[in-house]
Chains A and B, each alone.
Chain A
Amino acid sequence: MIKKNKSTLIRISLLLFVIFIPFSLNSNSEVPDSKYLEISSLSFYQTQTCDFSLFDFWRENIGNEKVIIKADFFSSINCFGKVNGVDYINDSFYVYIGTNLNINLLIQSLFWLLLISFIKIPKDTDFSEKLKEKSSLVGIIITALLFTSQIFTEPKFYNLYNKNIDTSISSENFFILSVFLAYLIILKLSDDIITPRISVVSNYLPFLFLVLGTYSSSNINFYIIYFCLIGTKNFSTKTLINKYSLLYIALVFFWLFNQNSSNNYFDVDKIRGFANSENSQGSLIFWIIIFYFFVNGLLHVFKKYSSQLDFKVVKNSFLISGSLTVLFGLLGTISSYLNFINFYFFGQNKNGMNTFQSVAGNTWRGFSASAEAIGEFYGVALLVSFYFIFKFKKVTFMEIISIGLILYGLIKTNDAAVLISLLLILTFFLSNELTKSKKGAINLIIFFFLVIIFLLVIAYSFFNPGISKDYDFLSQNLLIESLRNSFYFEDENLFVNNLVDSSNYKDISYLEDYEDVLSKSTRFLLENYISDRNTNYIPNITSVISIGSSLINRTDKWGLFISRYNPNNIEFLFGGGPMQFDKFYNSHKIKFNDGLILPHSSVLDILLFFGLTGIVICIFGSIKLMSKNTSDIKYLFLFYILNLLKSDSMLYVSAFILIIFIAVQCQNHKSNMLNID
């Protein structure tokens, strides 16, 4: 007992050490004392850059509400953790704290690994199992080399985020050598700390939404690194000749041969850590390999230890992690210093919100980079909690508090789709449970449908109060949006504008530059809408998609996607490769070309990455998983599938892992009840 307490104490001390020491070191003793930051001391901080540590500055500026702390990604090693610049913008002081890739890799990993080390190693651990065997040093070196190669394959990103980057291959290139060594240390430590706990790690997956694992100044994520190591360790001829591997290899050929390098830089912004920032052969190969081993690693772990899942622990993880994301999100909003600490130590892709004020229609994403992704997570957490309350007919005080916090987070994200689908799935589940007794089954089914219709009507009128009820307008709304985003409207184009206003699409199709200006997908919608083969009273495909997008409030986002999406036949059928966005964003000119506006549907993301083939496989895979599945896990899967139709969650590592996890559980728990007793 004493030994156990001692070990916990050591870990807590190490955690505090990792948090405080790197951000507490001043440059030297000759530095003058730090000052309260105001207009009169602005020049003091502007001249004394790289002298004061974050905590030293914080000590002098407690309660200074004008201070906004930001990370300076482009800092040298000696300025790490120190005030590296101050700007006075709009009555606020922007204070930049230096961070550096070489140090970030180790400090952030140490923090995350220390947190993972709090998970108990199962007593009955059989270390002879292949997954629990330690990786060989050669395997670790190869994986470290693979991740180091990203600096060479995505130099534009790393040039932007790192001051002393050097991409020459030389024994004197200490930048690359230290990055390589940092990866070696991370992989070795991960293998020693996570691998013995691998059989129970799945129970704590919800914490991935709290500790997001994206390295500052880097375009990679901690979880990708570890699961790639697992993927490489379990790579064998058997894995290679698996039908999915063979299909992936076939797709690789299409991606590589269809790839045209360009000199663009794709700003990964909030999807940093899980997206290719360039359009080059090297970066494409990097992401093809990484994606394969990452998914391979995830599948191996989730399949192997599916039976060892303790759903009670999973539920508690959801509740704790969900409420902590809300709490830390609130703390980050209140204090700019904590916002920075959140960003750095939880590995956020993007700084959390620093205001409670409405952004884009009262969307408060709090801790997360995406309101939709965190909304879906809160939805899953609530679904799991309600399931347990229903099954056990009891709820603890702490659970009520956690559910309250998560509900607050969900309401603040303003994710109507999650709320509606949550109610839908819960009603479906309850109806299903109640009809099991067969008593009054028909009445309950009728009741279920009435509730659904009622909810849909409420949702329709409440969330889209301004939506038109005019069929003609709804059926061409998406096409209009797509045309208005096209390059025709870069300047005021009265002629085309009149054609669109009068729904004269035929004349648009006769325009001389029609094929050059409009994307193939816009032309597809347009030509289907005006096709002579359309039958009266049967909506054409353009109308169906357009009405659907209007009903779920996705017309503007999908309209933008359609105006951009201009694939050749191979791209349409097989996509451009995993996590490839550059070509989509930069190959076809449209009216708007600034800012990262994602497709807002994981189906469209799959279309970009894997083409129609990917969509067909996912549809059939989902049907296969759902059909004949009598286990309760299918409700979670259904919930996620419904939401993925209108969100980009699969682009975030934590959400991606959760989706794979739920899909694997759905496959492995076809009929048996979940292990919750």
Chain B
Amino acid sequence: MEQNITVIEKICGSKPADVELIIVGNDPNFIFAPQENYILKVLYDLDGNIINVTSWLECANYVNGGWTDLIPGTVNWEKNIFIAYLIIFFGYLAKDRFVKFFKKT
């Protein structure tokens, strides 16, 4: 986790002096205690899932697991691919005409 500390501090804020940096991993029994004075942060994963974190340690663990404070890109990749395929298909159908046109000119 130490190697990601720069990223963690950028998202979660500076590490409080009284908090020990521990990796919780996927331990289902671990409960993050809310931290007093910590302003609730909203984190997102790549799939657009949202989590509210209430302590620096909780935030650090989620960031370490790949979550960020940036809303994931809203690019509709399927739409982009559709447009690309549409261009390829009609471009391919019209290829002979293009060739004729260029030969003429």
Which residues of A are interface residues toward B (Cβ below 8 A)?
43-44, 46-50, 76-79, 102-103, 106, 164, 174-175, 177-178, 181-182, 184-185, 188-189
Contacts and interface: CB of A to CB of B under 8 A. Distances in A.
A182 B85 contact: yes
A76 B72 CA distance: 13
B34 to A, nearest CB: 24
A188 B78 contact: no
Nearest 5 CB-CB pairings of A with B: A77-B77, A174-B78, A181-B85, A178-B82, A174-B79
Interface stretch (B14-22, B50-58, B86-94): B86-94
Contacts of B64: 43, 47
Contact of A185 (B3, B75, B88): B88
Contacts of A48: 66
Interface string B4-25: 1001000000000000000000
A177 B77 contact: no
**Main secondary structure on chain B at its contact with chain A?**
helix
Interface residues of B, number: 23
B1 interface: yes
A83 to B, nearest CB: 12
A159 to B, nearest CB: 15
Contacts of A175: 78
B76 to A, nearest CB: 7
B40 interface: no
Interface in B27-74: 46, 64-66, 73
B81 interface: yes
A189 B66 contact: no
Contacts of A188: 89, 92-93
Contacts of B86: 181
A366 to B, nearest CB: 34
A142 to B, nearest CB: 16
B81 A103 contact: yes
A44 B3 contact: yes
A46 B61 CA distance: 13
Contact of A174 (B1, B65, B76): B76
A196 to B, nearest CB: 15
Given A174-B81, A185-B85, A188-B92, 11 more contacts: A47-B64, A48-B66, A50-B46, A77-B81, A79-B46, A174-B76, A174-B79, A174-B82, A177-B78, A182-B85, A185-B88
A44 B88 CA distance: 38
Contacts of A78: 73, 75, 77
B85 to A, nearest CB: 4
16 contacts: A43-B1, A43-B3, A44-B3, A46-B65, A49-B46, A49-B66, A50-B46, A76-B46, A77-B77, A77-B80, A102-B78, A103-B81, A174-B76, A174-B79, A174-B82, A188-B92
A535 B3 CA distance: 82
A49 to B, nearest CB: 6
A185 B93 CA distance: 10
Contacts of B4: 43, 47
A178 B77 CA distance: 10
Candidate in B3, B7, B81, B86 with the most chain A CB atoms within 10 angstroms = B81
A575 to B, nearest CB: 38
B66 A47 contact: yes
Contacts of B1: 43
